[in-house]
Structure 1
Amino acid sequence: MYSGFMSTPERLIESTRELLWERGYVGTSPKAIQQHAGAGQGSMYHHFAGKPDLALAAIRRTAEEMRATAEAVLGGDGPAYARIESYLLRERDVLRGCPVGRLTMDPDVIASDELRAPVTETLDWLRDRIAGIVEEGRAQGEFTDALVPQDIASTVVATVQGGYVLARSSGSPAAFDTAVRGLLALLAAARTSAARS
């Protein structure tokens, strides 16, 4: 499954990331991680103190990747609306859900300050990043002053996370796409007449 060039700790982290996304924390046993990674119990406990330590490394890696993916779109050039639109329309594996957002549904992750921290930090970062873009759009006269940047940013994040839930519930990415189209229509209506022309 993994390249022969990948170290044992890397295989363990990557396996844990995959299993957390598929099964959640409770459903990800040390044995399943070892089997998925092709690593023995001794190797796992040589590199990590236990499942919580390995899960934390995996969650941090997933959170960093999510930030990098979002920044690649949000940090581009262009008007604020276009950058937010690109973020909302970027390709996603909608039916799998968000590997970070899904962790908020895991009671063991939420109960642990340490495991929850990278999840909270990532979602906070995303809201702040989008709010900054909305503020840029207001400052440049692209959006009306009626838009409250933090409110819009929370709405964007909630639409994406809720869109995943709707898509998984219906078994179709169409539900996600509908939510995104609705939000983009609302954002487009909040653009100034100068920005629309």
Structure 2
Amino acid sequence: MYSHGMSTSERLIESTRELLWERGYVGTSPKAILERAGAGQGSMYHHFKGKPDLALAAIRRTAEELRATAERVLDGPGTPYQRIEAYLLRERDVLRGCPVGRLTMDPDVIASDELRAPVEETLGRIRERIAGIVEEGKRQGQFASSLDGAEIAAAVIATVQGGYVLARASGSPAAFDTAVRGLLTLLAPQHVGPDDHPA
């Protein structure tokens, strides 16, 4: 499953990341982590203080990857609208849900300031980046001056996370796609021609 060149600590982190996504914190037992990592008994405690320490390393890794992926798209080519569109339309494993967003539904993660911090920081950073892009679009006249960058950014994140929930509830990615298309329609730059004005 993992490459032979991967160290035991790396295999433990990767196994924990996958299990947290699939089962949540409570469902991720040390035994399951060791089995998936192909690691011997006690190796977890050789590399980490225990399950919370390993889970923190795994959550940080997942959060960093999600943030890097989002920023790569948001900092890509195109107009502000096109970059937000690219972020909303980027390829996702919709029915598995968001590996970071799902952690917010885990009571053990939310109850721990330390485990919650990478989740909060990542979603906050992505939100800030989107808000900046909206403000850039307003300066270029692409978005209405009445739009609030922070509010639109929160709506974008809420659409993505809510889209995951709708898709998982219906068992179809179509619900996610519908939510995204709806938001993009609302955000689309309006080109009002002379014949479009009300009489």
TM-score, scaled to structure 1: 0.96
Alignment of 1:2-17 (within 5 A): 2-17=2-17
The answer on 1:131 being equivalent to 2:99 is no
Deviation for aligned residue 1:193: 2.7
Distance 1:16 1:64 in 2: 15
- Alignment coverage as a number of residue pairs: 192
Alignment of 1:164-175 (within 5 A): 164-175=164-175
Structure 1: 4+ residue segments shifted above 4 A: none
Distance 1:106 1:79 in 2: 37
Residue 26 of structure 2 aligns to a residue whose secondary structure is: coil
Residue 166 of structure 1 aligns to a residue whose secondary structure is: helix
Residues 141, 192 of structure 1: 8 Å contact kept: no
1:12-33 C-alpha deviation (Å, 9 max, x unpaired): 0000000000000000000000
1:86-140 C-alpha deviation (Å, 9 max, x unpaired): 0000000000000000000000000000000000000101110100000110111
Q: Percent identity?
A: 80
Deviation for aligned residue 1:72: 1.2
Partner residue of 1:187? 187
Bigger Rg over Cα = 2
Partner residue of 2:38? 38
Distance 1:86 1:40 in 2: 43
TM-score, scaled to structure 2: 0.95
Residue 193 of structure 1 aligns to a residue whose secondary structure is: coil
1:131-163 C-alpha deviation (Å, 9 max, x unpaired): 000011011111110110000000000000000
Distance 1:41 1:76 in 2: 45
Residues 80, 136 of structure 1: 8 Å contact kept: yes
What runs of 5+ residues in structure 1 fail to find an aligned partner? none
Alignment of 1:1-197 (within 5 A): 1-188=1-188, 191-193=189-191
Deviation for aligned residue 1:192: 4.7
1:32-81 C-alpha deviation (Å, 9 max, x unpaired): 00000001222110000000000000000000000111011100121000
Distance 1:110 1:34 in 2: 24
Residue 26 of structure 1 aligns to a residue whose secondary structure is: helix
What runs of 5+ residues in structure 2 fail to find an aligned partner? 193-199
Distance 1:2 1:77 in 2: 34
